[in-house]
Amino acid sequence: MSKAGRLVVLVSGSGTNLQALLDASADPSYGARVVAVGADRDGIAGLDRAEKAKVPTFVEKLADHPSRAEWDDALAARIAAYEPDLVVAAGFMKILGEPTIGAFPVVNTHPALLPSFPGAHGVRDALAHGVKVTGCTVMLADSGVDTGPIIAQEAVSVLPDDDEASLHERIKSVERRLLVDIVGRMVREGWTVSGRVVRIGNQTGGESK
Ligand code: GRF
């Protein structure tokens, strides 16, 4: 079997998506392993999960840099040091700049069915809009807010008594499974992007645009 794909996972919070990737990569047949976890803040459960799994971590805070551009450069350099095949933004609450998205393929996950309800409050906004079906989207990151080419989506029904927390929890259990599945398939099978259409497979690895 070929060498496991190298994943750098970026987190800002509880890191349950990260945990799902860590758990999946314990099986060599998954084909990918988490080589580092980066964050934009400290004191978060996501970093604790990485440390528990003995995965190296790094923190690059925006406030520690004179400008956003310098933070973008510093973050990209931290990521590059781990030579990732794929970067996974798993609940990373910052827009990634050109130094990162120009250098690495980045998979992002969002708790709504894009292009509806992008941004930091996708669950709250869907609920407030009164939709009866929402879900999650796994996409390639680009320079916009949740605007990149969609790789996979799955629907989740909104229940009459849902609040933001209950709905988000149900979405997250679907999201974790979808993210693990898609990341593994991308690393094992490769992918292509044609316009906005992403296709997994028919490649021995890597990306062609
Ligand atoms: C996920 O729903 C992600 O899509 C959103 O924040 C949540 C992160 O959850 N941006 P976790 O930190 O992986 O538990």
Concatenated DSSP letters of the chain:
-PPPEEEEEEESS--HHHHHHHHHTTSGGG-EEEEEEEESSSS-HHHHHHHHTT--EEE--GGGSSSHHHHHHHHHHHHHTT--SEEEESS--S---HHHHTTS-EEEEESS-TTSS-STTHHHHHHHHT-SEEEEEEEE--SSSS-SPEEEEEEEEPPTT--HHHHHHHHHHHHHHHHHHHHHHHHHH-EEEETTEEEE-SSSSSEE-
Specify the pTM. Answer: 0.95
Q: Residue 51: pLDDT above 60?
A: yes
* Per-residue pLDDT at 203: 59
Q: Which atom of ligand 1 is nearest to the CA of 109?
A: 4
- What is the mean pLDDT of the segment spanning 103-113? 98
Ligand 1 lining (C-beta closer than 6 Å): 11, 13-18, 46, 90-91, 109-111, 172, 175
Q: To test ligand 1's pocket by mutation, which of 9, 172, 177, 180 has the most ligand atoms within 8 angstroms of CB?
A: 172
Percent of the chain with pLDDT over 70: 95
Q: To test ligand 1's pocket by mutation, which of 170, 175, 179 has the most ligand atoms within 8 angstroms of CB?
A: 175
- What is the mean pLDDT of the segment spanning 50-75? 98
- Residue 14 CA, ligand 1 centroid: distance in Å: 7
Structure tokens at 95: 């827009």
* Structure confidence by residue, pLDDT tens digits, 156-209: 999 999 999 999 999 999 999 999 999 999 999 999 999 999 999 975 445 544
Helical pair 16-24 and 164-189, crossing angle rounded to 10 deg:
30
* Structure confidence by residue, pLDDT tens digits, 117-136: 999 999 999 999 999 999 99
Is residue 110 among the annotated active site residues?
yes
- What is the mean pLDDT of the segment spanning 101-118? 98
Binding-site sequence positions: 15-17, 68, 93-96, 108
Mean pLDDT score of the chain: 95
